[in-house]
């Protein structure tokens, strides 16, 4: 893949990571229970390429 492709993908993934972390931290501050684990799912979709990628996991509120 080209360098331009790699840079645009990294920029997108960085934006996803940063904005997702901010949203999760805000939700944990507002509604999260200390010590509780929450199921989490992230979905990335490229409709034009008929691609859907899903990642699941758990996040534990340590506060």
In the chain, the number of structural domains is 1
Q: Can you give the pTM of this predicted structure?
A: 0.83
Residue 14's domain spans which residues? 3-60
How far does Cα 35 stand from its chain's mean position?
21
For the segment 14-42, the average pLDDT, to the nearest whole number, is 96
On average, the pLDDT of the chain sits at: 95
- In whole angstroms, what is the distance from residue 26 CA to residue 20 CA? 10
Average pLDDT over residues 16-31: 96
């Amino acid at each position: 893949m080209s360098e331009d492709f790699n840079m645009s993908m990294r920029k997108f993934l960085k934006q996803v990571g940063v904005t997702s972390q901010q949203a999760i931290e805000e939700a944990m501050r507002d509604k999260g229970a200390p010590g509780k684990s929450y199921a989490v799912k992230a979905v990335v979709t490229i409709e034009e390429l008929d691609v859907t990628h899903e990642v699941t996991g758990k996040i534990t509120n340590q506060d």
